[in-house]
Amino acid sequence: MREYRFSRTELLFGKEGMYKLQKAFVTVVGLGAVGSYVVEALVRSGVGHLRLIDFDVINISNFNRQLYALENTIGQAKTKVAKERVLSINPECNVEIQECFFDGSQSANVFNPIPDVLIDAIDSLSPKIELLTSAYQFGVPVIISSMGAATRTDPFCIRIGDISETKECPLAKFVRKRLKKRGIHNGIKCIFSLERKKKTDVINGQENKFKVLQEGCEYFNRGRKRKPLGSFACITGIFGLLAAREAIMSIINKQ
């Protein structure tokens, strides 16, 4: 019955479109609030080859927004859980995992071979810049990047556009500025929001709660210190699904 697994996708995109998806190779970096939804949509659409990259483990504070956060996955590597979920959806998917914190030094491994699409779902600035720069230099045909989704609540403010067209989003502003210094002005498709970033304060004695969570979370022990931001699964999920949609349509429409 496995031949019917993606029959409804084939009804929509035809045999040729389904064939393209099955032969496609997509790399996703960052398997959190946005990236977990990216992977979910890609594998359920029949993408045949995935390379999944993240360095972190699943933490209790991930439950409000990440697909991989379950009672029985706490403390496990996100890459491991992601691979198991992919194969439980499509056992025939060729799924590779790399457990690493991307800082540019891993470029030769990450982009060997060069994927049809790279999706950047990293939420910290410096690794994002290194990844996008490397993808651009290696000549990845389609580069898709998620900008800031935290603190947003309005889905009607979400937009898709080239990095040169992004506005309102503070993260996108910093990304544009840093990429321009490296000679990159366009050519990266972004998911971003026009909604103004809200201020979310840690209040009512939550400081100690977040301190305990952060001490056990590798994410907060890398790079500069970051305070926790409020987040909403409906928005981070939409960011991820839109990024996956852009990847899928680029594959199907490829000549």
Which residues have C-beta within 8 Å of that of residue 137, sequence separation ≥ 6?
Answer: none
Token pair of 213, please?
A: 């969570």
pLDDT at 136: 96
Residue 249 pLDDT exceeds 70? yes
pLDDT at 212: 47
Residue 227's CB: how many other CB atoms inside 10 A? 10
Token pair of 242, please?
A: 């839109």
- pLDDT tens sequence across 94-142: 999 999 999 989 999 999 999 999 999 998 999 999 999 999 999 999 9
Confidence of residue 201 (pLDDT cuts 50, 70, 90): low
What CATH superfamily classification does 2-200+231-252 receive? NAD(P)-binding Rossmann-like Domain (3.40.50.720)
SS3 253: coil
How many Cα atoms are found within 13 Å in the side-chain-facing hemisphere of 181? 7
Classify residue 202 by burial, with Cβ atoms within 10 Å: 0-12, 13-18, 19+: middle
Question: For the chain, what is the mean pLDDT?
Answer: 91
d(CA 34, CA 32): 6
Partners of 96 in the β-ladder: 51
Confidence of residue 225 (pLDDT cuts 50, 70, 90): low
Q: Where do the domains of the chain lie?
A: 2-200+231-252
Classify residue 160 by burial, with Cβ atoms within 10 Å: 0-12, 13-18, 19+: middle
Q: Which of 209, 216, 220 shows the shortest CA–CA distance to 59?
A: 216
Residue 64 pLDDT exceeds 90? yes
pLDDT at 220: 47
Comparing 232 with 255, which gets the higher pLDDT?
232
pLDDT at 205: 52
- pLDDT tens sequence across 178-191: 999 999 999 999 99
What's the gap between Cα 63 and its chain centre?
17
Residue tagged 């690493």 (tokens): 100
Confidence of residue 197 (pLDDT cuts 50, 70, 90): confident
